[in-house]
Amino acid sequence: MTLPELSRAPLSGAGGPAPVAFFAVEYEPATGEVLLLEQRKLPGEVVYQRCKKPDEVAEAIRAMVVRGAPAIGIAAAYALVLLARQERGDAKAFLLANGVASRILGQTRPTAVNLAWAIARMGRRAADVAKLDPEARYEAMREEAEAIHLEDVAACRAMGALGAPDVPEGATILTHCNAGSLATGGYGTALGVIRAAHEQGKKIRVLADETRPYLQGARLTAWELHMDEIPVEVITDGMAAHFMQRGEVQWCVVGSDRIAANGDVANKIGTYGVAVLADAHDIPFTVAAPWSTIDLSTPDGAGIPIEERSRDEVARIGEARIVADGIHCRHPAFDVTPARLVHAIYTERGVFRPRDGETPRALLKKD
């Protein structure tokens, strides 16, 4: 695969010693552009969208050109770098413009807390450096966004190393949606654990739920794993129960868009069903997510905002209409898996086991 030319090595690690051949999001300092892999065209076409304005990044996040909680946080941080590059006014003008862009970016996808987290972190940096001259201001904002990106890649690797030993030798692992390199700064959360287990030489294979309605599992997860030569088969979402009943699934791992203080996990619609099925068949159901996904200010899953997306994403597959016009469709983009169904949550700070009554606060002591 030919990656777009960058003036430096991609921060995602793509094209380097890491097995991942592509990146979802990068900043190109030479031209002041955010490069986004157009995920809606995968796997058929590998094309990159080049954004020069914060609004273009916001629209790309809303339209799911870039998706996955950590990746959209990184994209939003880079959008605020674009703003800092363009805004030449005084401190007040800079902070005003940063605030307006932050609000627009923050409204694009409400469930993924990584987005709000990255925007807030960039906002704190903006306040610190507002009085500097525009060039120094831009450099400081760029360094902050790049730190967010690099920390996310490191977090994925750390949670991969932590989760891989729990993966049973010879396991068939079921995953839902895409929590891979495409959804993160690079390497992946759930797919990071799978990649790490594979790198350790474990003979594993993956069942990828196709993931209705947007087909992230079929189009993205299977594509990523196949390129890494990790055995993968795509199943429709309705097939998971069948394979579990036949003893053909030994482990489940998914990513998350927001984890409440009690360990309830919001993730792509359909995840809760997988967790219920796993519980019914005594299969460990696990989650991998960076600390930026943990929302200690939301006590439990009932407080997590669930994004409702358009009818057409359910009523159509690509250009094909599968529901007659005039018929309403429901489209909550996420659901909440109660903590009691979650065996383990792997983060870069360590693991906690919600099913055993542990909450993310157990890892706060490690600060």
Instruction: Tell the smallest beta-carbon distance from residue 138 to ligand MRU (Å).
Output: 29
> Is residue 166 annotated as a catalytic residue, yes or no?
no
Is residue 10 within the footprint of ligand MRU (CB under 6 A)?
no
CA–CA dist 259, 300 (Å, integer): 8
List the x/- string, 86-115, binding to ligand MRU by CB under 6 A: --------------------------x---
Site for ligand MRU in 260-319 (CB under 6 A): 267-268
Stretch that binds ligand MRU, among 98-106, 252-260, 275-283, 358-366 (CB under 6 A): 252-260
Is residue 256 within the footprint of ligand MRU (CB under 6 A)?
yes
**Residue whose token pair is 């129960």:** 241
Stretch that binds ligand MRU, among 42-50, 138-146, 235-243, 248-256 (CB under 6 A): 248-256
Is residue 116 within the footprint of ligand MRU (CB under 6 A)?
no
Nearer to ligand MRU, 67 or 85 (CB): 67
Is residue 209 within the footprint of ligand MRU (CB under 6 A)?
no
Site size for ligand MRU (CB under 6 A) = 18
Which is catalytic among the residues 152, 209, 257, 264?
257
Is residue 184 within the footprint of ligand MRU (CB under 6 A)?
yes
Strand-pair partners of 233: 207
Nearer to ligand MRU, 68 or 141 (CB): 68
Is residue 333 within the footprint of ligand MRU (CB under 6 A)?
yes
List the x/- string, 215-234, binding to ligand MRU by CB under 6 A: -x------------------
Residues carrying an active site annotation: 257
Binding site residues, ligand MRU, CB under 6 A? 67-70, 112, 177, 179, 183-184, 189, 216, 254-257, 267-268, 333
